[in-house]
Amino acid sequence: MMRLLVLDDDPDIGQTVRSMAETLGYQCQVTTRPDDFFNALDDWHPSHILLDLVMPEMDGMEVIRHLADRRCDAALIISSGLGGRVIDAASRAASQHQLSMAGVLVKPFSFRDLRTLLGRQPPAPPLPRTRDGAAPPALTPAMLDEAIQNNQIGLVYQPKVQCGDDTVTVGFEALARWQHPQWGAIPPDRFILLAEREGLIEALTRKVLIQACATMAGIRRARGAAADHWSMAVNLSARCLTQFDMVDKLVTLCQLHGLEPRHLTLELTETAAMEDGVLALDLLTRLRMKGFQLAIDDFGVGYSSMVQLARLPFSELKLDKAFVAAAGHSREARTIIRSAVDLGHQLDLKVIGEGVESGEALAFLSEVGCDFVQGYYIARPMGKEAIGAWLDGRGGAG
Ligand code: C2E
Ligand code: CA
Ligand code: CA
């Protein structure tokens, strides 16, 4: 059942939203005070929440924090009469708190604006739950260590395609999933940090690399020449850059699977690449000299200076998905994307937009000359057994 819970201190707005939502087939409850809102949240389990940012008793950011503490999985819509910049910031904060953002509404909004957001499928809740609805327990280092040893860390693969012609595949990104026997698929946001902190990330990355190379070799066997220019991307943490023998290990791994280094792309966040400037520069240069591709991930949210970025031998720049998601409603986001595409091209990098969820986002990225795209609009991450059918199902150049 679709249920919308509204928190807005202006009762008139609440009533207007209620009649709009009911027209759209929603049940709707309107609250004007945080106490009533949280009571309704507990008793009524809404599928959607519409939250006003500025209220006298408690501001919207506090409400967002409480929602995060309660691991609320309703799709969240933030509304405000404040400028787009403030709403953008709040929406980013909500996503960082692992809430499912359905979108933002700048007041005054129309029936159409609301319909667009309510009509959209809410994103999957970020935290896995068991059938009885319980959230998983705190994950411990021992549990993760065991999971790595027992091959419970699997991979899903998300296609990367050409921006102007999304029938042209350029590669895949391998994304880790912890297949927990009891809790199901645990997303990486919940265990990568733990692995980094507990010194388990090297072992985890090794398992990831082996699986990613095996899958890439399988794809190449099945697809022949069409797949020759495709590259499999793997995410590397900063800590992996402190292993002196990493370059040789990677070369050996590729040889073992009949891959050339160019069939592997290593994705690093800008912060990771900067952490130990000298060592990273040395290692990244050696990787590039061997022919591996290097992508700078989550571009735009780190703290690198342009000078440092220009010094590092990257081949690809991945715009952070927060900017791509905001492109539809934020002029700031569009400006950042445009500038990043230009900067990337000036530095001879391919620019890829990730987190593309709509045709509008895709159209904007093509318009500004982005090279590649990746996102739910093109394809969700999939198991390796689904790759063949996905490639077959879309025609084009493969
Ligand atoms: P990332 O490298 O930025 O990966 C992209 C994330 O965005 C993935 O989440 C992907 O499923 C998600 N995504 C893809 N398309 C869309 C879209 O259209 N909309 C939205 N909202 N999201 C989209 P995932 O798989 O949960 O991974 C989260 C992060 O965990 C990754 O972010 C990466 O930083 C890290 N990670 C994943 N696998 C590994 C790994 O093997 N090693 C390391 N070190 N980190 C990993
Ligand atoms: Ca990545
Ligand atoms: Ca990213």
Q: What is the CATH number of domain 141-393?
A: 3.20.20.450
Q: Are strands 153-162 and 169-180 parallel, antiparallel or unpaired?
A: antiparallel
Task: Name the strand (E) or helix (H) holding 282.
Answer: helix 277-290
What is the three-class DSSP state of 75? strand
Say what the pLDDT of residue 385 is: 96
User: Which residue bears the tokens 């609805």?
Assistant: 133
- Residue spans in the chain of domains classed CATH 3.20.20.450: 141-393
pTM: 0.72
Mean pLDDT by 10 residues, the chain (398 residues): 92 91 91 94 93 82 90 91 78 87 86 83 48 66 95 97 93 96 88 92 96 98 95 92 86 97 93 70 89 92 71 91 90 92 94 96 97 97 96 70
Say what the pLDDT of residue 148 is: 97
Residue nearest to atom 41 of ligand 1 (CA): 176
Residues with CB under 5 A from ligand 2 (ion): 235, 267, 297
Say what the pLDDT of residue 309 is: 77
What's the CA-to-centroid distance between 340 and ligand 1, angstroms? 20
Identify the nearest ligand to the CA of 319 by its number. 3
Q: Are 364 and 344 in contact (CB under 8 A)?
A: no
Q: What class does CATH assign to 3-118?
A: alpha beta
Say what the pLDDT of residue 122 is: 45
Residues with CB under 5 A from ligand 3 (ion): 297-298
Identify the nearest ligand to the CA of 374 by its number. 1
188 CB under 6 A from ligand 1?
A: yes
190 CB under 6 A from ligand 1?
A: no
- Residue spans in the chain of domains classed CATH 3.40.50.2300: 3-118
From the alpha carbon of 298, which atom of ligand 1 is closest?
A: 3
Beta strands in 8-74 (DSSP E): 27-31, 48-52
176 CB under 6 A from ligand 1?
A: yes
Nearest C-alpha neighbor of 232 from the set 173, 168, 279: 173
Nearest C-alpha neighbor of 205 from the set 244, 248, 232, 234: 234
**Rounded-to-10 torsion of CA 126, 131, 135, 140:** -100
211 CB under 6 A from ligand 1?
A: no
Give the mutation target among 194, 198, 235 for probing the ligand 1 site: most ligand atoms within 8 A of CB. 235
| Number of alpha helices (DSSP H) and beta strands (DSSP E) in the chain | 16, 14
Contacts of 241 (CB under 8 A, 6+ apart): 268, 272, 273, 275, 276, 279, 280, 283, 284
